[in-house]
Amino acid sequence: MFQVDAFASRVFGGNPAGVVPLAAWLPDRFMQAIAAENNVAETAFFVPATGVARGAADFHIRWFTPTIEIDLCGHATLASAHVLFRHLGFKADRVRFSSHSGPLDVFRQDDRLVLDFPSRPAHTVTAPTGLADALGAHPTEVRVARDLLVIFDTEETVRLLTPEMSRIAGLDAFAVIVTAPASTPGVDFVSRFFAPRAGVPEDPATGSAHCTLIPYWAARLGRAKLHALQVSPRGGELFCEHRPASAPGSDDRVYIGGQAVTYFEGAIHI
């Protein structure tokens, strides 16, 4: 097992992810127990792709929070690619994972790793009852994709939010993303991410949230390349790009780039 701080250039920053390379899948109950024991936002498990699947992907990947399996996780995918490139001798410049959310590529770009992920644009909805009370502030707009996307006017408002997690967990959404235009020089937008229903009260740096944030901010700001900060207590820095569909019938994609650093490696005994 490895633990990697993703979307960070130093240890104790970004988002810690457990990474467990496997020769074959463990029973689900063991993977869930390992994730609970690790008690970080997500633990990724991957196995080599074999047979026919080997032509479409290099590895299959799954992600577990301390309480549930989830359909998509960015920082633990970035961490898994880091482990493959840095520790396990994977020689190519791009690795492809197959997942519950389809094919996911990670490629090297200078000193960063870049996720090639699906775009998940959100549509406008009426703010759910109790949302403002749960967050402690009234948003200017609310949208929804997998997660609620809650928009505020200022970076300061997002930084100062002290949400009531029990109320956030009671909302009809997997998680809540809060975001605002950045006042930090050189940064386009900031965000935070709350997912208490999934056992993650506040996630430090969330790749999957940017599948929704990037199309929103690219449209609002009128440009494809964006610099983002996740202003959690640990903080995360993400370099983003909106990638329109390359051919009729294909879907938009997003690029989410960042650095990663290994915190520890060891062995699990079960």
* 11, 22 contact by CB (below 8 A): no
Distance between CA 20 and CA 33 in Å, rounded?
A: 13
Q: What is the CA radius of gyration of the chain?
A: 18
Which residue matches tokens 């780039």? 257
Active-site annotation, residues:
42
Virtual torsion, Cα 69, 6, 89, 62, nearest 10 deg: 10
